[in-house]
Amino acid sequence: MSVITIERKVLEKNDEIAHQNRALFARHGTFVCNVVSSPGSGKTSILERTLEHLAGRLKVAVIEGDVQTDLDAQRVAKFNVPAVQIITAGGCHLEANLVREALKNLDLSATQLLVIENVGNLVCPANYDLGEAMKIVVASTTEGDDKPLKYPGMFRNASVLIINKIDLVPYLNCSPAQLRENALRINPSLVVFETSCTTGEGIGPWCDWLQRQCAPAATP
């Protein structure tokens, strides 16, 4: 019997590639956000409203991550933005190398904002750095106000919380104030927005904030 000391991080390969992605984004001045949530919280709907709102204001590109189908990329392509679909074929999260592959199909020099929509899952994507500037977590009112307490890892790692489906509150046993309080308890530095993709409520302030994070377009 002999013991071999290893002392290595299991995700070090992913972290290395994420680091390379981040350097690439910095070189092109592209602001990158990684949007995470449970399935059905409205990530793609928020993205659609966001693309509508930012049309003509920002050069945006999208990477869609899904377990199957390119339905989300089709939804996004209607807004005339470059969109690449990653199909993970069972994988429950995006990894940095999948994003690196997808980047081959995008022109970063013509992209001020890159939105990566992760696979719907509040557990695994928390631990995989893709090279993004920040994670944006979406929690919808239909999921209840205790999600941050049940999935603290995700809420701790995010910089922004979007509370979506705010128009449904009158019909639900969910308090957006409680949801916000629970999230801020896990992560006091979260920037919080409340939105409805049906009524458009809150989309303006969210998009204005997002635009302020992005570098101005380089003058040709």
Partner 1 sequence: MHELSIAQGILDIIRENIPQGDGAKVKVVRLRIGAMAGVVPDSLDFCFSAITQGTPMERAALEIEHIPLTAHCLGCGKDSEIEPTLFACPLCGGLDLTVLTGRELQVREIEIDDMSGANS
Q: Which residues bind partner 1 (CB under 8 A)?
A: 1-11, 13-14, 91-93, 95, 123-124, 126-128, 149-150, 152-153, 156, 184-188
Q: 61 or 126: whose CB is closer to partner 1?
A: 126
* CA dihedral (212, 74, 99, 156) positive or negative: positive
* Closest approach of partner 1 to the CB of residue 213, in Å: 24
Check the CA dihedral 180-183-189-194 and report its sign.
negative
Report the residue number, 5 or 68, with the smaller CB distance to partner 1. 5
Least distance from partner 1 to the Cβ atom of residue 90, Å: 8
Query: By the 8 A CB rule, do 54 and 203 touch?
Result: no
Q: How far is the CB of 174 from partner 1 (least distance, A)?
A: 18
CA dist 23 and 17 (Å) reads 10
Nearer to partner 1, 36 or 113 (CB): 36
Nearer to partner 1, 27 or 150 (CB): 150
Nearer to partner 1, 109 or 127 (CB): 127
Q: What is the closest distance, in whole angstroms, from the C-beta atom of residue 121 to partner 1 in the complex?
A: 8
Rounded to whole angstroms, the Cα distance separating 192 from 138 reads 10
The CB-of-65 to partner 1 minimum distance in angstroms stands at 13
Contact 195, 160 (CB under 8 A): no
d(C-alpha 44, C-alpha 116), whole Å: 11
Sheet order of strands, 113-117 included:
83-87, 60-66, 113-117, 31-37, 134-140, 160-164, 191-194
Residue 176: half-sphere exposure toward Cβ, Cα within 13 Å: 19
Closer Cβ to partner 1, 177 or 220, answer by number: 177
In the complex, the smallest distance separating the C-beta of residue 19 from partner 1, rounded to whole angstroms, is 16
